[in-house]
Chains A and B, each alone.
Chain A
């Protein structure tokens, strides 16, 4: 059974600081996703990572994938308050199959 673990689960940081969220998964995977969820809202797709060594950046967020280590990271650069949300990674074991989600990282960026 595929397991996906994120850490940390809670992250409080100050504006302007950098930090990394980690996502480990237990079996080989076709692709990995990062989502953002604001309270009471749906999931917003941030990144889709398809291959080993993939790196994608959007604004202050950068995601990478190491399939050999079964590890993905979401790096936050110079955090701003608007980034406060819960971030989920999700793994798709085979193309078109269900997603297995991590527990989520609740990020709070303090002014």
Chain B
């Protein structure tokens, strides 16, 4: 059973460009969480999604950031018009949410660098 997959692993964007980060949850997992880790800091929650539904987006910046988890395909975190402050590691986690097991399993992360 493959783990949580994220791609790309490293992404370089110039200021003003768009960044698209992808997350494929573990097989059988229908819940996805996105977290951001700024340099030398802990992880901060951004958004929690089920397929075709945003459950909690209280950690998402109000502008330029959006997330989706379509019926088919990976979850996408989209950052429009990136700025230097968006440079961070973005981690996706998935959970099964069944049988009392809700543990989140983390992917390898996408390291975004904005130049």
Binding site for B on A (CB under 8 A): 33, 35, 40-43, 45, 48, 88, 90, 92, 95-104
Most chain B Cβ neighbours within 10 Å, of A35, A40, A98, A103: A98
> Are B109 and A96 in contact, CB atoms less than 8 angstroms apart?
no
> Are B42 and A104 in contact, CB atoms less than 8 angstroms apart?
yes
B69 near A: Cβ within 8 Å?
A: no
Binding site for A on B (CB under 8 A): 31, 33, 35, 41-45, 48, 56, 59, 91, 93, 95, 97, 102-109, 111
Q: What is the minimal beta-carbon distance from B35 to any residue of chain A, in angstroms?
A: 8
Q: What is the minimal beta-carbon distance from A108 to any residue of chain B, in angstroms?
A: 15
> Are A96 and B41 in contact, CB atoms less than 8 angstroms apart?
no
Q: What is the CA–CA distance of A20 and B105 in the complex, to the nearest angstrom?
A: 25
Q: What is the minimal beta-carbon distance from A8 to any residue of chain B, in angstroms?
A: 14
> Are B42 and A42 in contact, CB atoms less than 8 angstroms apart?
no
> Are A95 and B109 in contact, CB atoms less than 8 angstroms apart?
no
List of B residues within 8 angstroms of A100 by Cβ: 45
List of A residues within 8 angstroms of B42 by Cβ: 88, 101-104
> Are A45 and B103 in contact, CB atoms less than 8 angstroms apart?
yes
- Offer 21 A-B interface pairs, CB within 8 angstroms, sorted by A: A33-B103, A42-B106, A42-B108, A43-B43, A43-B91, A43-B106, A45-B105, A88-B42, A90-B43, A96-B31, A96-B97, A97-B48, A98-B45, A98-B48, A99-B33, A99-B43, A99-B93, A101-B42, A101-B43, A101-B44, A104-B41
Q: What is the CA–CA distance of A64 and B97 in the complex, to the nearest angstrom?
A: 24
Q: What is the CA–CA distance of A40 and B95 in the complex, to the nearest angstrom?
A: 23
> Are A103 and B97 in contact, CB atoms less than 8 angstroms apart?
no
